[in-house]
């Protein structure tokens, strides 16, 4: 029979061996979950970036300097933060999402680690691309846009695992020097000619009004309606000033079809 003090020594050795295996495992499981979380956030961000490009008011892809702060604030911020149209400029490197920190309160991802790639406007490949090219030969810039395939990409540099004092967590090798990078890409095929607005007040060639003028021949009479305004002051001819031949209002919705805003609390 072995002595009691020898049994205690054996148990201590077994516990030490188990700790060398289990402690890193317990620390890495949440980190792996956070890697997946970052990947999902990036996928959502690139989808949103592609949509923001299709709904741009200028009928063209916006600049990265405009979209990148919005994506970071909405997709890498705190879960309970409000979504606003205008995002205030922030110089803080640390992101508000607590899941982007490690067990040692070191960041996995910071603001400067997120890069939004340059937008691409491409032609669609295959049969649909050929059909789009045929339709684009109609008079005027009739939709769909033959270069309407918008691609957005995002690159992220994931930081290596560090201890509380900022040194490499060598006991979690190779995650202390892995140099992980993630890249997500989203492509959206759509034409922003209606999402960007009717364009009644402007004359942009891809506005709804500009597109409809190609389909309504009487719209060419709109300029002639200005002549009728000159005779509206004459007796018996005043009613002519109310006529608007060829006038197009593509964005008018009947009042009974509009839903009222909920009253403020």
pLDDT tens over the chain, length 265 residues: 555 555 556 666 666 655 555 566 677 788 888 899 999 999 999 999 988 887 776 667 888 888 888 888 888 888 787 777 777 777 788 998 888 998 888 999 999 999 999 888 877 676 766 666 666 666 666 666 677 788 999 999 999 989 999 898 887 788 888 899 999 999 887 776 666 666 666 667 777 777 777 777 777 777 666 666 666 666 656 566 667 777 777 766 677 766 676 676 6
The rounded Cα 24 to chain-centroid distance in angstroms is 36
Is the pTM higher than 0.85? The answer reads no
CA distance 194 to 59: 9
Summarised one tens digit per residue, pLDDT across range 31-68 is: 888 899 999 999 999 999 988 887 776 667 888 888 88
Task: Please list, in sequence order, all residues whose beta carbon lies within 8 angstroms of the beta carbon of residue 150, skipping any fewer than 6 positions away.
Answer: 50, 53, 54, 61, 119, 120, 121, 187, 188, 189, 190
Give pLDDT, residue 77. Answer: 85
Give pLDDT, residue 246. Answer: 73
CA distance 52 to 85: 12
Give pLDDT, residue 175. Answer: 83
Q: How far is CA 4 from CA 8, 10, 36, 157, in A?
A: 6, 10, 48, 53
């Amino acid at each position: 029979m072995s002595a009691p003090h020898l049994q205690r020594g054996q148990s201590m050795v077994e516990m030490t061996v188990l700790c060398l295996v289990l402690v890193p495992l317990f620390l890495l499981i949440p980190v792996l979950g956070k890697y997946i979380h970052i990947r999902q956030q990036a996928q959502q961000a690139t989808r949103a970036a592609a949509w923001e490009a299709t709904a741009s008011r200028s009928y063209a892809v916006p600049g990265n300097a405009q979209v990148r702060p919005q994506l970071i604030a909405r997709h890498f911020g705190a879960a309970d933060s409000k979504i606003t149209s205008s995002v205030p400029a922030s110089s803080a490197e640390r992101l508000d999402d607590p899941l982007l920190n490690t067990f040692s309160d070191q960041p996995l991802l910071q603001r400067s680690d997120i890069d939004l790639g340059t937008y691409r406007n491409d032609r669609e490949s295959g049969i649909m691309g050929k059909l789009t090219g045929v339709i684009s030969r109609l008079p005027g810039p009739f939709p769909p846009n033959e270069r309407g395939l918008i691609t957005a990409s995002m690159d992220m540099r994931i930081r290596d695992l560090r201890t509380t004092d900022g040194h490499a967590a060598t006991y979690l090798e190779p995650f202390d020097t892995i140099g992980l990078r993630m890249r997500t890409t989203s492509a959206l095929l759509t034409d922003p000619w209606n999402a960007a607005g009717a364009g009644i007040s402007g004359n942009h060639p891809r506005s709804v009004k500009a597109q409809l003028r190609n389909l309504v021949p009487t719209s060419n009479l709109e300029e002639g309606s200005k002549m009728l305004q000159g005779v509206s002051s004459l007796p018996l001819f005043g009613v002519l000033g109310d006529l608007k031949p060829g006038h197009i209002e593509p964005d008018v919705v009947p009042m009974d079809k509009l839903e009222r805003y909920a009253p403020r609390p």
